[in-house]
Amino acid sequence: MNQPIQTPDYVIVGAGSAGCALAYRLTEAGHRVTMIEFGGSDRSIFIQMPGALSYPMNMSKFDWGFKTLPEEHLGGRQLVTPRGKVLGGSSSINGMVFVRGNPKDFDFWEESGADGWGYKDVLPYFKRMETWHGGASDWRGTNGPLHVTRGTRRNPLFNTFIEAGKQAGWPYTPDYNGENQEGFGPMEATIWKGRRWSAASAYLRPALKTGRLTVIRGFARRILFQDKRAYAVEIERKGVIETISAGREIILSASSINTPKILMLSGIGPADHLRQHGIEPLADRPGVGSNLQDHLEIYMQYKALKPVTLYTYYNLLGKGRVGVEWLLQKTGLGASNQFESCGFIRSSDQVDYPDIQYHFLPLAVRYDGKSAVRGHGFQAHVGPMRSKSRGTVRLTSKNPMDTPEIHFNYMSHPDDWKEFRACVRLTRQIFDQPAFAEYRGDEIQPGPGVESDEQIDAFIREHAESAFHPCGTARMGAADDPDAVVDPELRVIGVEGLRVADSSIFPRITNGNLNSPSIMTGEKAADHILGRVRANHEGGLAAE
């Protein structure tokens, strides 16, 4: 006799960074959870080996394959917008860099209407989520699911970059995720025992072991409502339309691209836009799909005078040796993402806190790994942190299978150009320091002929690339804010039984890579759903 299928307490759409954390905490609390994920297994050498990071984001098996509209301020170029289509979401295809963000980022969130999301409120969740392997610190967690480690920095160029930053007048920061972000120091990564430690490894697998989590592979089409209460998710699985009901609530954790798409397909969004596509508005929320933000960056590249870079291994034989060592021992170059030193600085003394980030790499290569400079070289990825440009995600039709229209409107604010010029000039100052004298050859790009504002702007227009940090498309704010999409409890304003927990909710982009604050969002969302935030606020969250 068949047992009746029990309705789960919660349905989560998306097995990404926030969704996995949320599933773990809800099942830990004894609830039954169903998770809907279109992507498949993350058990691939291209995902699990940190050194192979350039591959999965270029594989249709693991990436949604989104592209922007032609960006008018970048010469009409279409930029790729990778998002993870796999267990672990973008934490399974990203660069594994771990940056919480600056404390002032979260204080800004609170000041802009996200009550209870200031730094003092989110710090306990950052601590709860991590096991930090950097020693004792009041700022760090030591018992969380997410392992955070540092590379060995055996390549001399990593410490040379840090030393050059100090010589240029910036402080050394021993832990940019701790007391002080500003300065140069070691970079942190979600790597453990030589493997990528994604949200799937940290949260999803432990949640599955409880027996209270079910993962369904299906394509989420829309949320179904009875009056204004969400009760089920309509999915397509193997060509069949099904509904997955929730006993209590539905949570969208589908990414800053797919979450607003699903909201709009469900009747939640700008009413005029929905009607244009034949969708009857259920809740007129103009903020859905608006406020889209990202980090842009350029690669400042130099030839190396000594053969100390990764170019030694940038051939078939070298890659083979790296791969074999990783397969046999989980050690060597394959066990690192090769982002082992970094910097956070201010573009001018008038800026309140760091607004420029550096990733240093001991190889002159594109981020996607498709082309490397012939010969030894090194580079810094550099870009402004708080662009004032804002874009949109919009529907192209009412057909859920159709890709949404993505328009970041990059570089549309004049301040973006001023900040990027500062990036170029400050980076040159850093590489011109004595620390680099024995290694620094000619500047490859932008190149010695690129000096004036006009020349730098032309280089940016042609060469700026996304750092793949989209966010902000379902902004969190006060419940009476007409442009907010979710309130500080992450409840979608205007309906019931539906929340959002992913980088869509960020009022403003944070300093640095977004994986860490996305996971924090899932952690904190769980406590909001479980009714624990008020108690934590009064009694103090035991985050250690």
**What's the rounded Cα separation, in Å, for the pair 17 and 516?**
8
243: three-class secondary structure by DSSP: strand
CB 263 within 8 A of CB 252: yes
Does residue 288 have a known ligand-binding role? no
Does residue 180 have a known ligand-binding role? no
Dihedral of the alpha carbons of 34, 36, 39, 41, in degrees to the nearest 10: 0
**What's the rounded Cα separation, in Å, for the pair 47 and 196?**
7
**Which segments of 405-537 are extended strands (E)?**
405-407, 440-445, 465-466, 498-500
User: β-pairing, 10-13 with 183-186?
Assistant: unpaired
Query: What is the Cβ-side half-sphere exposure of residue 75, based on CA atoms within 13 angstroms?
Result: 10
Residue (of 279, 299, 540, 523) closest to 423 by Cα position: 299
Cβ contacts of residue 520 below 8 Å, gap of 6+? 100, 122, 125, 126, 129
Which residue among 359, 376, 469, 528 is the active-site one?
A: 469
The partner residues of 84 in beta bridges, in order of sequence, read 63
Does residue 99 have a known ligand-binding role? no
Phi, psi (deg, nearest 5) at residue 406: -115, 120
Does residue 86 have a known ligand-binding role? yes
Does residue 97 have a known ligand-binding role? yes
| Segments in 255-359 forming alpha helices (H) | 255-265, 271-276, 316-329
Give catalytic status of residue 147 as yes or no. no
Cβ contacts of residue 138 below 8 Å, gap of 6+? none
**What's the rounded Cα separation, in Å, for the pair 200 and 206?**
9
| Binding site listing for FAD | 86, 94-97
Residues making up the annotated binding site are 86, 94-97
Catalytic residues: 469
